[in-house]
Amino acid sequence: MTAQPMITQTPVTPDVDALGTWLPVPGYGVLAVNAFVIRATRPVLVDTGPAVLGDAFIQALERAIDPARLEWIWLTHPDPDHVGNLAAVLQRAPRARVVTTFLGMGKLGLLGLPVDRVHLLNPGQSLDVGERRLLAVAPPVFDAPESTGLFDPSTGALFSADCFGALLPAPAAGAADVAPELLRAGMIGWATVDAPWLHRVDRGRFRESLQAVADLQPKRILSSHLPPASNMTATLLGNLADAPDAPPFVGPDQAALEQMLAA
Ligand SMILES: [Fe+2]
Ligand SMILES: [Fe+2]
């Protein structure tokens, strides 16, 4: 059995903290799993981490902000690594509404989320966080159709959901701390795992979707699965541009898994 992963609360900008952990991926390294707190006038929690973190997630959240102050819980998509502590957060955040899409609401309803705690927002629409508005954006790479990212025009921060994630050999404080070739290989590897449909897409249309990110001119990319990346947008976009032509991912089978466990 692996030990319970650690979670750290790290300031990224004056008004954003990352609540981050690293999950081991046997045979492939580690994967960052990040939630974020945006201390706007109407504060936002972006995702709620994997359930395996349990109380440790709540404690990290409480170091970043009093959960009772949260007004929005933005769920990039309802995968288990993003909604694992949602019920516990909702209990401590009685005013908070869960921001998602129509499909996300359907999936969350199956997990027991009542409709009166939901706020629907589509890409292109924006969320009122008090002194400013945050723009919902469709990430160019995703593993669930309801995936929605978040762009803060006032700070240039792009919360990109699973997009721009990377399988890395070891944890790192920032994406800039990873050797460029390891970052590139890790990003392409993650993209082939998380979005196998990339191999089938029209390359020109895919480049257009990457250009849409470039047009936002994000200063910081805050992915759910990458350490914070400042002033690296062109590099990250360049890495992703090559993912559709990388070899498709085939996961280990049972025999390979047993070998890994034995090792
Ligand atoms: Fe996902
Ligand atoms: Fe994810």
**Residues 31 and 25 sit within 8 Å (Cβ to Cβ):** yes
- Which of the following CATH numbers is that of domain 7-262: 3.30.590.10, 3.40.50.300, 1.20.140.10, 3.60.15.10? 3.60.15.10
pLDDT digits (tens, 9 = 90+) for 117-136: 999 999 999 999 999 999 99
**Helix H segments across the chain?**
55-64, 80-83, 86-92, 102-110, 180-194, 203-216, 233-241, 254-262
pLDDT digits (tens, 9 = 90+) for 146-158: 999 999 999 999 9
Residues less than 5 Å from ion ligand 1, measured at CB: 79, 143, 162
- pLDDT over 90 (residue 114): yes
pLDDT of residue 2: 52
Ligand that comes closest to the CA of residue 77: 1
Residues less than 5 Å from ion ligand 2, measured at CB: 79, 81, 162, 224
Q: Where are the domains of the chain?
A: 7-262
pLDDT of residue 11: 97
pLDDT of residue 261: 84
- Averaged pLDDT for residues 216-235: 98
pLDDT digits (tens, 9 = 90+) for 38-58: 999 999 999 999 999 999 999
